[in-house]
Amino acid sequence: MNLDPELYGTKIIPFVNVKTFLQETLPQLEFSRDYEEEVVLDAGCGTGGTTFHLVLPLFPQLENLYAIDALPNMIHNAEICNSHPMIEYSVADIEKWPTVKKWECQITKLVSIYCLQWLKDAKKGFRNIYRLLKPGGKAAICFPTQSIFYEAMKEMENNSKWRSYYKEVGEYISDAHLNKRNDSYYEQMVKEIGFEIVYLNEVSANDAFSSDEAYKNFFSSICVVLPHVPVNKKEEFKNELFEEMIKLGGRANDGLPIHKSTVIHLDTGDYLPDSHVNKRNASYYEQMIKEVGFEILHLKEESTADVFSSEEVYKNLYSSICVVLSHIPVNKREEFKNELFEEMIKLGGSSSDGLPVHRSIAIELVIRKNEQ
């Protein structure tokens, strides 16, 4: 792999779908909560623009943000152009365990943007991510599976003018693109490793770039064939790659070039509250509240069996608090709501008059702030 950090640029990755994932989807999923001290790792940070401008602001309570890349020249540029006291850049390869082992079980949140498509063995990468995470830790990952970039590259390989330079590179198409991997392929892979999936979405992305220049530079920077093209032919190669991609992706109404791709957006981790996952009981909260300084006037732990007035009310209430629902495509939401309802009925049952019952353990609490 030989990528060009100069052409790549040092700003945020120029894909609208990535911005949406980091700035809208993850906050909606409560990927980070402002009361948690986070130790974050950004895998495949490139020149650090995304790390600095989009990943760092996700975490209000940050202890450390480690940002790694397999290429020393990427890290070099990141340190110069996107340095920040909370970000520690270093060269490490997410596919090679000895290079990342020092963070084993320490990472509370791992982010990886447009990196995993580069891996020879994606499962190895996911397994390493799992080993890096602290129990209960989460990973937010996004990478393209299909891209017109690879189609344009294949087209150019057919041209005898360029074919010989391809021979020096070997396989240049990602496994995901070559083998048409889809979301269920990755779903199965990450579940086998032991992850729980909070959110998985396969997005058809039409990302418009800010200019022809930005588009051409970005794709030239990640084109592994370009370093093998003689200097006096590089401009011609870049222009042809650009033209091929425009043929496939087209332009927006305002003339800006579009990159068409399929992208996986993935959030793994726990979507259940800490109280449920860790089976917190009354004495846990008693101690916590006393430590804060409150006086406890009433504390009761109760097993409840609440009968709802109708199936509709029951279904609506639990759909309204289900954080996954807003990420289900509109045409599948009713099916999701019905299945959630059926699962809950299996567990909670119905009353003698056929009304749905919700069973839970609840804490009742009345506390007073001390006088002094």
Ligand X SMILES: C[S@@+](CC[C@H](N)C(=O)[O-])C[C@H]1O[C@@H](n2cnc3c(N)ncnc32)[C@H](O)[C@@H]1O
Whether the Cβ atoms of residue 38 and residue 109 lie closer than 8 Å to each other: yes
Whether the Cβ atoms of residue 64 and residue 131 lie closer than 8 Å to each other: no
Q: Which two tokens stand for residue 94?
A: 């997410």
In the complex with ligand X, the residue whose CB is nearer, 144 or 348, is 144
Assess 107 for contact with ligand X (CB under 6 A): no
C-alpha span between 122 and 102 (Å, rounded): 21
Assess 152 for contact with ligand X (CB under 6 A): no
Assess 74 for contact with ligand X (CB under 6 A): yes
Taking CB under 6 A as the binding criterion, the range among 66-74, 168-176, 329-337, 349-357 that sits at the site for ligand X is 66-74
By CB under 6 A, what part of segment 22-51 binds ligand X? Answer: 43-46, 49-50
Assess 91 for contact with ligand X (CB under 6 A): no
C-alpha span between 239 and 244 (Å, rounded): 9
Interface pick for ligand X out of 56, 71, 132, 241 (rule CB under 6 A): 71
Three-state SS for 273?
Answer: coil
Report the residue number whose CB is nearest to ligand X.
Answer: 46
What H or E segment, with its residue span, contains residue 160?
A: helix 160-167
The single residue listed with the structure tokens 């279904």 is 315
Interface pick for ligand X out of 41, 56, 58, 94 (rule CB under 6 A): 94
Q: State in angstroms the smallest separation of the CB of 267 from ligand X.
A: 16
Assess 93 for contact with ligand X (CB under 6 A): yes
Q: State in angstroms the smallest separation of the CB of 57 from ligand X.
A: 14
The size of the interface with ligand X (CB under 6 A), counted in residues, is 22
Q: Which two tokens stand for residue 283?
A: 């004495």
Q: Measuring CA to CA, how many Å separate 153 from each of 84, 207, 223, 372?
A: 36, 19, 9, 72
In the complex with ligand X, the residue whose CB is nearer, 208 or 315, is 208
Q: What is the DSSP letter of 251?
A: B
By CB under 6 A, what part of segment 212-271 binds ligand X? Answer: 222
What H or E segment, with its residue span, contains residue 189?
A: helix 183-193
At position 316, the amino acid (one-letter code) is N
In the complex with ligand X, the residue whose CB is nearer, 55 or 198, is 55
Q: What is the DSSP letter of 2?
A: -
Q: State in angstroms the smallest separation of the CB of 371 from ligand X.
A: 53
In the complex with ligand X, the residue whose CB is nearer, 65 or 94, is 94
Q: Please count the residues of the chain.
A: 372
By CB under 6 A, name the binding residues for ligand X: 3, 13, 43-46, 49-50, 68-71, 74, 93-95, 113-115, 118-119, 222
